[in-house]
Structure 1
Amino acid sequence: MIPLSEAGLKDKVYEKVLPNGLKVILLENHKAPLITFQIWYRVGSRNEEWGKTGLSHMLEHMMFKGTKKYGPEDFSRIIQENGGNNNAFTSNDSTTYFETLSADRVQVPLDLESDRMVNLILREEDFRTERMVVMEERRLRTEDNPATYLFEQLEATAFQLQPYHWPTIGWAEDIRQFTLEDLKSYYRTYYNPANAFIVVVGDFNKNDLIQKIEKAFGSIPKGKAPDQKRDIDPPQTGERRIFAKREAQLPLIIMGYHIPNLHEPDSYVLEVIATILSSGKSSRFYHDLVQEKQLVLDADADHSLLSHDPSLFVVSAKPLPGKDVAEVEKELDKEIERLQKDSVSEQELQKAKNQLEASFIFGQDSIFYQAMLLAQHEISADWKSIDDYLPSIRKVSAEDIKRVARKYLFPDNRTVAILIPLPPKEGKSEPENPPTNEKIVR
């Protein structure tokens, strides 16, 4: 298989926009007799409003509750009976439904997905039950997870205008106050061909498949693509700092720096910086903070390249028992300052580029990941921008590393969140708190 990065996507990927506005992106991959079918709706938590947070994720749950043609349990059962698997997820920027199954069964997801795009039945009894499920999901994922709770608070502090302020799953009080009419209105607004696109990767003939897609989806009314413009936070003018007390085994520090997305070339430099800092046991964080100084259990740098709006460059660390958070923060700052002052060696820079390139190429061994990459670039900019990834990584210089670290990774541009661990209540075990900035709710 020729990797996407080397193939020339304009020759390999087929794109067509149906008359009703539905974009279709097809990539033939005949490595195995399988297909992955994904439908992406351009609606996530960024499209919600104050007081209605979590609607995107709630509607994702309700999309499995049936239509006039298929009952509440039929969707997943039919996929499984045809030897496939399916799931869905919601992020800040989108809601996605996918099926992977034998290539000769492609008509199955076509029928199911086209039907629920327009014929979903939203019942009060299903809504009340599923709302309780989501509330419990929030309790398990956030309320009982100190790291996730801390990151949620960090984003709420770092973003004051743009909708990355609230979590994908929504605030608990908003979820409790959802109404069935809220969901019906949201479904009518965002679930239509003009606000969606399809990605299919696998063993098919594009000319045959596009005819099947046109037949399944072509008669659905176009609808209206909602305005995707949202408020963006102005430049931060001073460090923000928060503390959270939760039952936990160890303290945790997370620092989030405001950064651009892939519309700015500096984003690719930040990819390399994150890799230099924390990718593997030869990374700076692991070598300096875990091995040499024995200060932390783990440390991480994370860069969200594929976000629709400007996001955060996140640095996190969990101190070892007996180690002071302030000392850990001081050492993290030293690592950042080192990037700003000292040129990265050619060997270290090339190693980071090799790691990113290997991950990018080897990940495409999966047809699911190929489809995900195309779709994520389409959500963030355009699927064709995937061609820019490796050339942009390869041309990053040591001087770029210093320049970008100085431009974005400075104290006035960050929010610092510190977890202060509390002992567990009597009869309750201590929760673990692995660092996390998970934004997708499955």
Structure 2
Amino acid sequence: MRLFKFVLIFALLFIPFTIHAAVYPVRNSNSNGVKEYKLKNGLKVLIIEDHKAPLATFQIWYRVGSKDEPRGKTGISHLLEHMMFKGTPKYGSKVFSNIIQRNGGTDNAHTTKDYTMYHQTLSSDRIGLSIELEADRMRNLLLDPKEVMNERNVVMEERRMRYEDDPQSSLYEEVISAAFKAHPYQWPVIGWMSDIASIERKELYRYYRSYYSPDNAFIVISGDVNAKDVLPKIKKNFGNIKPSKRNVIKDGTEEPQQSGERRVYLKKEAELPYILMAYHVPSFPHEDSFALDVLSTILSAGKSSRLYKGIVHEKGLALNVFADYSGFHRDPFLFVFGGTAAPKKNIEDIEKAIYYEIEKVKKEMPSEREIQKAKNQIEASFVFAQDSTYSRAFYVGMFEMLGNWRLMEKYLEGIRKVKPEDVQAAAKKYLVDDNKTVGILVPTKAVRSE
């Protein structure tokens, strides 16, 4: 959970509002906390008032990502994200971003395996622009056939540049697709090339109508705003949008337990060998997720971490090495190790060195001091992000995506309770041979044409 190492404590103070609402003030914060509302059409609204600077961030999260895609149409979520900037009858192609920029703001979006999120940060007195523009494209997207074809080609080129021409990204795709045999996490977010090429306008429109609706979305607004001023604007623009009558069957596939090591090799033009090792692990809020989070910090947070000191600094085997626990997923995901071999060093020696560090944790519990240091690092990263309206909104939105934004409190409580024996037990339970998938990049030399 490298992106989400933070501390935030909520006091549960329940205050009713005219719309279905609850307020949970944050202790030791300069804001008034998170205010929650829900419109009749199912759209949830979370507002975080913070008046330190005249800025505001608007985010709208849709509960749809690559895991929700139909088989054979991987990448459709990401392509739809691109098309959301291609206009409505009221605002033409690229007009959305131009309006935000002309008003001194920035905007962007991203798609993951679990969700798609659109966001703008701008002067707080212009927040109404975000509300109006996002409501318009929630229900009125044009999806012009020519634009769909053009953007499909753009995404295919993006895939070539970012994945097929990048050896390490290609290896990551190979490892993930080998680690998952049943669950749709096996699919890359950008999609497989042949699937992207097959997506037609009618399929994209059906997907849009199925998932882009108020009952499958929520809004997070953070910054110099007042809920009593913002809510009427949200009700006016979003309140009349009807919930989707979609007949979508959510994929409930569970990945079966792995019962033996899987290993893949990728031969590709590259300078140095590279290795990835992935172990199946539970996601937050599973009781073991907290210990796994602390374990990843002990192993890989900074140059004083075990992996860097042992493999890069002392043995000189690798240029870089890491461990990452991706615990904030809707379903169980992976604990990943990786590293790039130093020149003239063998990738097999790096693999052995990583196993050595794993076994060391299993045989000898980390010290109380090491555990506390890891907890401090997790806390400090969020303290650093406190002044960002985007980050505050993002963290609230992430936990809401996982079930409810109030889960932040459970996460922090769990981290603080982690003991050395918990970390050791997690390593023994999950970092085992039968539960791992190994991928090795074998560099090849470029073939030069005469």
Q: TM-score, normalised by structure 1?
A: 0.94
- Please give the secondary structure, in 2, of the residue aligned with 1:297: strand
Matches within 5 A, 1:425-440: 425-426=447-448
Are the aligned partners of 2:9 and 2:412 in contact in 1 as well (CA < 8 Å)? Answer: no
Is 1:310–2:332 an aligned residue pair? yes
Is 1:389–2:392 an aligned residue pair? no
User: Following TM superposition, by how much is the alpha carbon of 1:222 offset from its aligned partner in structure 2, in angstroms?
Assistant: 1.6
Matches within 5 A, 1:21-420: 21-224=42-245, 226-420=248-442
**Could you report, residue by residue, the CA deviation over 1:254-286 in whole angstroms, capped at 9, with x for unpaired residues?**
000001110202111111100000101100011
Query: 2:199 corresponds to which letter in structure 1?
Result: F
Structure 2 CA distance for aligned equivalents of residues 8 and 113 of structure 1: 32
Query: 2:237 corresponds to which letter in structure 1?
Result: A
User: Following TM superposition, by how much is the alpha carbon of 1:132 offset from its aligned partner in structure 2, in angstroms?
Assistant: 0.7
User: Following TM superposition, by how much is the alpha carbon of 1:395 offset from its aligned partner in structure 2, in angstroms?
Assistant: 1.1
1:424 matched residue in structure 2: 446
Structure 2 CA distance for aligned equivalents of residues 363 and 307 of structure 1: 21
Are the aligned partners of 2:285 and 2:411 in contact in 1 as well (CA < 8 Å)? Answer: no
Are the aligned partners of 1:161 and 1:232 in contact in 2 as well (CA < 8 Å)? Answer: yes
Query: Which one is further off, 6-15 or 326-335?
Result: 6-15
- Please give the secondary structure, in 1, of the residue aligned with 2:393: helix
Structure 2 CA distance for aligned equivalents of residues 176 and 6 of structure 1: 47
**Could you report, residue by residue, the CA deviation over 1:49-69 in whole angstroms, capped at 9, with x for unpaired residues?**
221000000000011111111
Structure 2 CA distance for aligned equivalents of residues 320 and 334 of structure 1: 18
User: Following TM superposition, by how much is the alpha carbon of 1:234 offset from its aligned partner in structure 2, in angstroms?
Assistant: 1.1
User: Following TM superposition, by how much is the alpha carbon of 1:88 offset from its aligned partner in structure 2, in angstroms?
Assistant: 0.7
What percentage of aligned pairs have identical amino acids? 49
Query: 2:35 corresponds to which letter in structure 1?
Result: Y
Is 1:8–2:16 an aligned residue pair? no
Structure 2 CA distance for aligned equivalents of residues 351 and 4 of structure 1: 14
Query: 1:278 corresponds to which letter in structure 2?
Result: S
User: Following TM superposition, by how much is the alpha carbon of 1:215 offset from its aligned partner in structure 2, in angstroms?
Assistant: 1.1
Query: Which one is further off, 319-328 or 234-243?
Result: 319-328
**Could you report, residue by residue, the CA deviation over 1:360-394 in whole angstroms, capped at 9, with x for unpaired residues?**
22222211011111111111221110112222111
2:17 matched residue in structure 1: none
Structure 2 CA distance for aligned equivalents of residues 53 and 38 of structure 1: 25
**Could you report, residue by residue, the CA deviation over 1:4-50 in whole angstroms, capped at 9, with x for unpaired residues?**
71353722211111000001111111111110000000010000122
**Could you report, residue by residue, the CA deviation over 1:266-321 in whole angstroms, capped at 9, with x for unpaired residues?**
11111110000010110001111011111111100111121111000000011111
- Please give the secondary structure, in 1, of the residue aligned with 2:392: helix
Query: Which one is further off, 216-225 or 233-242?
Result: 216-225
The 1:368/1:18 distance shift into structure 2, 3 A limit, reads same
Are the aligned partners of 1:263 and 1:381 in contact in 2 as well (CA < 8 Å)? Answer: no
Are the aligned partners of 1:52 and 1:174 in contact in 2 as well (CA < 8 Å)? Answer: yes
Are the aligned partners of 1:22 and 1:197 in contact in 2 as well (CA < 8 Å)? Answer: yes
Are the aligned partners of 1:8 and 1:387 in contact in 2 as well (CA < 8 Å)? Answer: no
Structure 2 CA distance for aligned equivalents of residues 320 and 427 of structure 1: 29
Structure 1 CA distance for aligned equivalents of residues 318 and 225 of structure 2: 49
User: Following TM superposition, by how much is the alpha carbon of 1:229 offset from its aligned partner in structure 2, in angstroms?
Assistant: 4.3
**Could you report, residue by residue, the CA deviation over 1:174-219 in whole angstroms, capped at 9, with x for unpaired residues?**
0111111110110010010010000000011112211211111001
Query: 1:341 corresponds to which letter in structure 2?
Result: K
Q: Which has the higher contact order (CA 8 A, sep 6+)?
A: 1
Query: 1:136 corresponds to which letter in structure 2?
Result: E
- Please give the secondary structure, in 2, of the residue aligned with 1:383: coil
Query: 2:261 corresponds to which letter in structure 1?
Result: E
1:435 matched residue in structure 2: none
Structure 2 CA distance for aligned equivalents of residues 228 and 262 of structure 1: 20
Structure 1 CA distance for aligned equivalents of residues 430 and 311 of structure 2: 22
Structure 1 CA distance for aligned equivalents of residues 175 and 128 of structure 2: 44
- Please give the secondary structure, in 1, of the residue aligned with 2:122: strand
2:20 matched residue in structure 1: none
User: Following TM superposition, by how much is the alpha carbon of 1:96 offset from its aligned partner in structure 2, in angstroms?
Assistant: 0.7
Deviating beyond 6 angstroms after TM superposition, the runs of 4 or more aligned structure 1 residues are none
Structure 2 CA distance for aligned equivalents of residues 427 and 309 of structure 1: 47
In structure 1, runs of 5+ residues without a counterpart are 429-442
Query: 1:365 corresponds to which letter in structure 2?
Result: D
User: Following TM superposition, by how much is the alpha carbon of 1:227 offset from its aligned partner in structure 2, in angstroms?
Assistant: 4.7
In structure 2, runs of 5+ residues without a counterpart are 1-5, 13-23, 26-32
Structure 2 CA distance for aligned equivalents of residues 142 and 199 of structure 1: 32
The 1:22/1:376 distance shift into structure 2, 3 A limit, reads same
Query: 1:401 corresponds to which letter in structure 2?
Result: V
- Please give the secondary structure, in 1, of the residue aligned with 2:268: strand
1:431 matched residue in structure 2: none
User: Following TM superposition, by how much is the alpha carbon of 1:426 offset from its aligned partner in structure 2, in angstroms?
Assistant: 2.5
Query: 2:101 corresponds to which letter in structure 1?
Result: Q
Query: 1:245 corresponds to which letter in structure 2?
Result: K
Structure 2 CA distance for aligned equivalents of residues 18 and 152 of structure 1: 40
Structure 1 CA distance for aligned equivalents of residues 88 and 293 of structure 2: 43
